Amino acid sequence: MNRLPKEFYKKDAITLAPLLLGKIIVRKLNDNTILKYKITETECYYGEEDSACHAFKGRTKRTEVLYNEGGFSYIYLCYGIHLLLNIVTGPKDHPEAVLIRGIENYNGPGRVSKALHLTKDLNNIDLTLSDKIWLEETKEKQKYIKDKRVGINYATKKYKNIKWRFILIL
């Protein structure tokens, strides 16, 4: 196993989002089945200054996990339907994360969560220690394109139009 170390996650979300492309997300189910998928699309959210970030309005019970040091999972319910997986990044007390928007054969963060059988129990899990979900290194050099983030029409113009979505070129 080539699990990503704590130091990897301490980079800021803007730097880490493209670096997560091509990494392998591993999910161990309760019946010991192991699922492995290559990450193909990410999207970053950076601090209280980012009007699209959940922490834009400050620290709340929901966003507390974003204030952890990098390497924790942030899983939340979107539109009352889909659980979405984010990877907390950067230093402690600066809220930032990378949304996993796509994995091999599954495009869209809701589909990602269904494919990985995610539950809210996996929120705020240290990905460097968990035996249920973690990320592994790959040695391949990844090529990608950048684009605007999706589904953030509520954000200010600056943050709505910034190209913080990263898509692996397969």
Cβ–Cβ < 8 Å for 96, 66:
yes
For 12, the token pair is: 């800021």
What CATH class is the domain 6-168? alpha beta
Instruction: Kindly state the average pLDDT of the residues 20-41.
Output: 97
Amino acid making up residue 95: P
The H-assigned helical ranges of the chain are 6-9, 13-19, 109-115, 157-161
CA 15 to chain centre: 13
DSSP string, 109-126: HHHHHHHTT--GGGTT-B
Residues pairing with 126 in the sheet: 72
SS3 28: strand
Distance CA 147, CA 27 (A): 28
Q: Where are the domains of the chain?
A: 6-168
Return the pLDDT at 80.
65
Please state the pTM of the whole predicted model. 0.92
Give residue-wise pLDDT tens across range 93-107.
999 999 999 999 999
Give residue-wise pLDDT tens across range 84-134.
999 999 999 999 999 999 999 999 999 999 999 999 999 999 999 999 999
Q: Flag whether pLDDT at 79 surpasses 70.
A: no
Structure confidence at residue 166 as a pLDDT band (50, 70, 90): very high
